[in-house]
């Protein structure tokens, strides 16, 4: 039902008319035929997306034959596929092909560690991922670009600063409880694309999911993944889980109708580093699957509040 409600927004955005019908689509592994959870299903022009749940099902209401948009199915360790929405009329299953990738081998006797983008978390004042009057947040991922002096280093740890509000509430036996909003998200590590300088292929063939955390700053140990950095540039990205557990909304003033409206947003909102560089190091993945410079805070701020510890 939740998936149905969210995709109903797609229909409203596309201005479809007439009686709506449900189009249930099962997303599965081509070899095992098992459901694939946490697939990002994005409708490109409408700029809407949702993350599938464990059953791998989505329901798109409306007459797909009349829709003029593109839907993209993307999830780590699988090949991304794109379809015209009208071509999905009558389709009940989308199969994705697994990517077989061998992990890169980095230095094995790394003893010297270096912290990159070593900001002071107390100085974080701005956050990416919120909706504002001047700009809608329209990214599926945000990536921080890092530069190192040599190839073959190991990525040991990342630290991520995020926005979190303290919640004061009562439980069923009327005890006063205080907590911070929990969230779930994924971390992606990318090599540099040698042609474009943008994020390229994944450097980790395992899912790195941070869940049930209620901190304002996350420290994630990446040593078990043995992630080698093959070039002098790499990227650490936050991938939003666009599900109902992470969903919230921002109140934004709409100039056209002269009143505040609710705009969906998803946790976490990622901090902007107080350290300022001469070049922009933030990249955003849009609803069409393209990486572009994320310029909302530029030129005043150039980096995300993501630290990376490398060893060599």
- What are 232-267's pLDDT values in tens digits? 999 999 999 999 889 988 888 888 888 888 888 899
| Better-scored residue on pLDDT, 105 or 248 | 248
| pLDDT > 70 fraction of the chain, expressed in percent and rounded | 84
- CA–CA separation, 139 and 286 (whole Å): 5
Q: Are 74 and 39 in contact (CB under 8 A)?
A: yes
The ranges of the chain annotated as CATH 2.60.40.1120 are 2-96
Provide the pLDDT for residue 13: 40
Structure tokens at 63: 């007459």
Q: Are 232 and 148 in contact (CB under 8 A)?
A: yes
| Better-scored residue on pLDDT, 207 or 2 | 207
Provide the pLDDT for residue 257: 85
| Better-scored residue on pLDDT, 3 or 306 | 306
Task: Name which CATH class applies to 113-311.
Answer: mainly beta
pLDDT digits (tens, 9 = 90+) for 45-55: 999 999 999 99
- CA–CA separation, 45 and 47 (whole Å): 5
| pLDDT > 90 fraction of the chain, expressed in percent and rounded | 70
Provide the pLDDT for residue 104: 62
- Of 159, 164, 158, the closest CA to residue 130 belongs to 164
Q: What average pLDDT does this structure show over 288-307? A: 97
Mean pLDDT of the chain: 87
Provide the pLDDT for residue 214: 62
Provide the CATH number for the domain formed by 2-96 in this structure: 2.60.40.1120
Q: Are 236 and 146 in contact (CB under 8 A)?
A: yes
Provide the pLDDT for residue 264: 85
Q: What average pLDDT does this structure show over 22-36? A: 95
Asked if the model's pLDDT at residue 10 lies above 90, the reply is no
Asked if the model's pLDDT at residue 215 lies above 50, the reply is yes
Provide the pLDDT for residue 166: 59
Asked if the model's pLDDT at residue 179 lies above 70, the reply is no
74: how many CB neighbours lie within 10 A of its CB?
20
- Least confident segment among 40-44, 195-199, 256-260: 256-260
Query: How far apart, in Å, are the Cα atoms of 48 and each of 10, 75, 103, 136, 265?
Result: 7, 16, 33, 12, 11
Q: Is the dihedral of CA 185, 201, 84, 30 positive or negative?
A: negative
- Label residues 100-113 b or e (16+ Cβ within 10 Å = b): eeeebebeeeeeee
The ranges of the chain annotated as CATH 2.60.120 are 113-311
- CA–CA separation, 23 and 38 (whole Å): 19
């Amino acid at each position: 039902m939740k998936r149905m409600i969210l995709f109903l927004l797609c229909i409203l955005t596309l201005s479809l008319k007439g009686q709506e019908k449900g189009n249930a689509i099962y997303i599965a592994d081509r070899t095992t035929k098992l459901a694939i959870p946490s697939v990002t299903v994005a409708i490109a022009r409408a700029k809407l997306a949702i993350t599938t749940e464990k059953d791998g099902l989505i329901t798109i209401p409306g007459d797909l034959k009349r829709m003029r948009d593109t839907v993209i199915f993307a999830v780590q360790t699988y090949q991304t596929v794109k379809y015209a929405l009208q071509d999905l009329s009558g389709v009940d299953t989308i199969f994705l092909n697994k990517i077989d990738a061998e992990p890169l081998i980095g230095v094995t006797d790394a003893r010297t560690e270096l912290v990159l983008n070593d900001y002071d978390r107390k100085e974080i004042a701005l956050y990416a991922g919120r909706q504002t009057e001047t700009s809608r947040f329209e990214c599926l991922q945000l990536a921080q670009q890092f530069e190192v002096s040599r190839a073959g280093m190991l990525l040991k740890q990342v630290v991520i600063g995020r926005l979190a509000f303290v919640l004061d509430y009562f439980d069923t036996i009327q005890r006063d409880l205080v907590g911070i909003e929990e969230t779930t998200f994924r971390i992606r590590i990318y090599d540099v694309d040698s042609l474009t300088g943008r994020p390229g292929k994944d450097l980790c063939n395992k899912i790195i999911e941070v869940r049930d955390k209620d901190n304002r700053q996350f420290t994630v140990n990446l040593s078990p993944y043995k992630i080698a950095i093959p070039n002098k540039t790499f990227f650490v990205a936050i991938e939003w889980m666009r599900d109902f557990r992470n969903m919230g909304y921002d109140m934004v003033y709409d100039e056209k109708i002269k009143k505040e409206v609710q705009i969906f947003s998803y946790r976490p909102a990622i901090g902007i580093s107080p350290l300022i560089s001469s070049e922009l190091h933030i990249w955003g993945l849009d609803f069409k699957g393209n990486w572009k410079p994320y310029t909302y805070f530029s030129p005043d701020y150039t980096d995300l509040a993501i630290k990376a510890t490398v060893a060599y």
